[in-house]
Structure 1
Amino acid sequence: MKTYRVQALLLVALAFILGFSEFIIIGLVAPLAHQFVVPASQIGLLVTVFALVYALSTPILNLLIGARSLYRVLLVFLGIFILGNLGTALAPNFAILTGTRILTAVVSGSIISLAITIGNSLAPVEKRVRLVAWIFSGFSIASVFGVPLGTALGLVAGWRSVFGLITLLAILIALALAKALPQGLFQEPAKSLRHQLLILQDRRIQLGLLLPMLNLAGIYTFYTYLSPLITQSLQLSPHLLTPILFIFGLMSLASNLLSGRLAEMGGLRKIPFVFAGQTILLISLPFLLPKVGLCLGAIMLLALSMYLNNSPIQMHFMTLAEQKYPQALVFASSFNSICANLGIALGSAAGSWTFKSWGLAQVGPVGAIFAGGAFLVSLGLNYLLAER
């Protein structure tokens, strides 16, 4: 049991460093724009590029894993991740910065897919849902501690120091995982790539894929520009940015933990209520801007709803894969993160377009279009599951 706890803790730490690396751009928009003399909206597009590369590369790499040792593949991908973050820390210009972010994104999705698959294999059956929730919570812990502290470090010591810290932590986690994880983990061999892709023909999978994408598209339409929303639209002091980001991250951490509880209570049946609430909150944002307290309250409620879908939809994918498509376990474990990053790319791009075309005040209502779509899809998925 002690060994399992150490392994579980390291998998959560792995998710944390992945989240820290991915999300920190949101807290470094101003210093990066100043360093490379580019508009803030162009820095915001780094989030879009990262998410698109993540979503496109993850299924390809996961399909190529096949019957290879999951332990060895994980360590190789972690080595690439470390090189990508080190390159970002040393980037002399914006083009190289973009290239190193792309390199990091290429392997990030496969790393979290492997972490979930390995965790699912190591955990006792009764603890699988809870472990999946905690692995996803690693990303929220990155929001709670990584982004605010990284933002503060970037202001004091420069943005390069933040990526230097990420590189150092990633090396330590990789070394610990190399010692703690078993080397004999494999997924069931597939006859061919087509054999693994059979899972995509299942209508329950097809509808499920839309939920994380639409969920985070709605959230990231406004979240990508949360920093200027706080300092410009709400006209709050930049010194308040770090504590507000900290509270936002704390709420998103609670969201991931509540997601695990939701999954244990038949969560997919309750998810339509979550998306209905998101839609209402996003529509209301421009009307709440003159009332700072109410607007911040709505933002924190959105943070609380941000990841409630995570564990229910992840267990939906994993359960169907185990029962019907065991040759596609690693592939299925990546569905949530792939589609979530497609949603991040879509939402951050929509936020950038909205910011430039209509102003910051309208990022909420545009995000509500995606949240409303998630509400309708969740109703359809529940209807299909009830039929089966």
Structure 2
Amino acid sequence: MRKIWLLMLGAFTLGLDAYVMAGLLPSVADDLGTTVSLAGQMVTVFTLAYAVSAPLVAGLMSGVRPRALLIAALAVFALGNALTALAPNVGVLLGARVVAGAGAGVYSALSTATAAALAPGERRGRALALVMGGMSTGTVLGVPLGVLLAEQTGWRATMWVVTGLGLVALVGLAAGLPEVPADPPVPARARLAAVTDRAVLPIVGVSFLGAVASLGLYTYLAPVLAASGGVSEHGVAPYLWAWGIGGVLGSVLAGPLVDRTGKVLTLVTALLVVLVVSEGSLPLLGAAAFPALVVWGAAGWAFQVPQQHRLLALRAERGTVALALNNSALYLGSAVGSGAAGLALSAGLAPERLPWAAAAVAGAGLVLHLAVAVRRSRRDGRCRDAAGVSTLGTYEHS
């Protein structure tokens, strides 16, 4: 598992970059002379670039060794962050975030697939959880520190730190990551089949709705807390810590739970319920929202571990493409969530109402998840009756 820690280092940097912007929005808006809602669109374009690049490169470059692609992706990521730090206006800033998002998307998809390939089957959940843990640790440690640094020296200094960490991760992978056999080239028809696979799409759809609810709302956590509890937009760092601590706990604990129990369906159901309740309670708690933020962060980050595990078990023959599609849905959901929230705020929606909208979206994801589970259970029940054996246990593990 030591090799997985190298991948975790890059994931840490991605987690820092993707979510530090939520705490920097007021500073960026003041520096560039724009509104918080417009500045928030840099999160939207980052995540859209992330969403598009992940499945595209995973499919087109499926015959290339992952190590080379991981290093190239980190190089693009570092370049995008350097351009972000130098951006003189909103237009250049948005373009720079597209470059950084493209590199991040490719790295994220390949790092999860590489981690799964490096780990034995019985420890796959832990390997996936380590990579997700790197993302969440980047949030819990890096984001609040990045916000504090920005308060002292400006938001551009934070982006230079992100750039430097990306280069450190690049050197570490170049020096220590072993070669992993490339997946066999995936024909265009097979890539299209992954996108239209009726077994894969519902899982990816639930991931999308979960990301809209969790990551989209997180982008505007500062104005939400300011409106609902008297928390200053420039004093949101402790609340980011709470959300990030929950994320680390959730992502680290989810892997062992999957490996030991195999109850991925039950785990996904429980996490979606927790997400609905914790987000819906935020406007009622105001400045006392720390426990809800911890629980929300834990559920949001843990949620993706069983989702990835299900996809690998369901479509092992094209696992990289399926994981890339899920990662794409994750960040597309973040883009849709942050974009829609920004538009809603610009249209006059009270910020304290955003958590209720997010909870409703998470509820829709729960309904979709349960509907698919019931349909699959009924179908497997018919197969069991026909074959005289039980298949429900097999489904619960998938």
Which shifted more, 273-282 or 170-179? 273-282
Q: Equivalents in 2 of 1:287, 1:233: separation in Å?
A: 8
Which shifted more, 367-376 or 351-360? 351-360
Establish whether residue 179 from structure 1 lines up as the match of residue 175 from structure 2: yes
Structure-2 residue corresponding to 1:245:
240
Q: Equivalents in 2 of 1:311, 1:35: separation in Å?
A: 38
Structure-2 residue corresponding to 1:140:
136
- Quickly say closer, same or farther: Cα 1:258–1:385, change in 2 above 3 A: farther
Q: Equivalents in 2 of 1:334, 1:259: separation in Å?
A: 20
Structure-2 residue corresponding to 1:72:
68
- Quickly say closer, same or farther: Cα 1:29–1:201, change in 2 above 3 A: closer
Q: Equivalents in 2 of 1:28, 1:239: separation in Å?
A: 9
Write the mapping of 1:56-95 to structure 2, written as runs, cut at 5 A: 56-95=52-91
Establish whether residue 277 from structure 1 lines up as the match of residue 274 from structure 2: yes
Q: Which of 279, 283, 303 is equivalent to 1:309?
A: 303
| Paired residue type of 2:88 | P
| Paired residue type of 2:127 | L
- Quickly say closer, same or farther: Cα 1:162–1:205, change in 2 above 3 A: same
SS of the residue aligned with 1:306?
helix
Q: Equivalents in 1 of 2:357, 2:184: separation in Å?
A: 43
Q: Equivalents in 1 of 2:215, 2:305: separation in Å?
A: 19
CA contact (8 A) 1:220 1:367 kept: no
Q: Equivalents in 2 of 1:385, 1:362: separation in Å?
A: 35
Q: CA RMSD in A?
A: 1.9
- Quickly say closer, same or farther: Cα 1:63–1:247, change in 2 above 3 A: same
CA contact (8 A) 1:262 1:308 kept: no
1:359-378 deviation digits (Å, cap 9, x = unpaired): 11110111122111111111
Structure-1 residue corresponding to 2:336:
346
Establish whether residue 235 from structure 1 lines up as the match of residue 230 from structure 2: yes
| Paired residue type of 2:28 | L
Tell me how far 1:145 sits from its aligned partner. 0.7
1:186-217 deviation digits (Å, cap 9, x = unpaired): 10233x21123323343221110111111121
Establish whether residue 225 from structure 1 lines up as the match of residue 216 from structure 2: no
Which shifted more, 235-244 or 258-267? 235-244
Q: Equivalents in 2 of 1:51, 1:376: separation in Å?
A: 25
SS of the residue aligned with 1:217?
helix
Establish whether residue 365 from structure 1 lines up as the match of residue 356 from structure 2: yes
How many residue pairs match? The answer is: 376
Q: Equivalents in 2 of 1:272, 1:373: separation in Å?
A: 12
Structure-1 residue corresponding to 2:393:
none
Write the mapping of 1:308-347 to structure 2, written as runs, cut at 5 A: 308-322=302-316, 326=317, 328-347=318-337
Tell me how far 1:300 sits from its aligned partner. 2.8
Tell me how far 1:67 sits from its aligned partner. 1.0
Give the alignment's TM-score, normalised by structure 1. 0.91
Gaps of 5+ in 2: 381-398
Establish whether residue 49 from structure 1 lines up as the match of residue 50 from structure 2: no
Q: Equivalents in 1 of 2:333, 2:180: separation in Å?
A: 34
Tell me how far 1:321 sits from its aligned partner. 2.3
| Paired residue type of 1:277 | V
| Paired residue type of 1:173 | A
Give the alignment's TM-score, normalised by structure 2. 0.89
Runs of 4 or more, structure 1, over 4 Å off, are 237-240
Q: Which of 187, 209, 212 is equivalent to 1:214?
A: 209
Q: Which of 30, 34, 39 is equivalent to 1:34?
A: 30
Q: Which of 117, 120, 131 is equivalent to 1:121?
A: 117
1:23-67 deviation digits (Å, cap 9, x = unpaired): 111111111001100001111121112112211222112111031
Q: Equivalents in 2 of 1:40, 1:320: separation in Å?
A: 42
Establish whether residue 13 from structure 1 lines up as the match of residue 9 from structure 2: yes
1:104-137 deviation digits (Å, cap 9, x = unpaired): 1112111111111211121122221101011011
SS of the residue aligned with 1:286?
helix
| Paired residue type of 1:24 | V
Tell me how far 1:348 sits from its aligned partner. 1.0
Establish whether residue 268 from structure 1 lines up as the match of residue 265 from structure 2: yes
Q: Which of 150, 159, 184 is equivalent to 2:146?
A: 150
| Paired residue type of 1:344 | S
Structure-1 residue corresponding to 2:127:
131
Q: Equivalents in 1 of 2:267, 2:16: separation in Å?
A: 30
- Quickly say closer, same or farther: Cα 1:273–1:93, change in 2 above 3 A: same
Structure-2 residue corresponding to 1:298:
292
| Paired residue type of 1:274 | L
Q: Percent identity of the aligned residues? A: 28
| Paired residue type of 2:279 | L
Tell me how far 1:221 sits from its aligned partner. 4.2
| Paired residue type of 1:34 | D
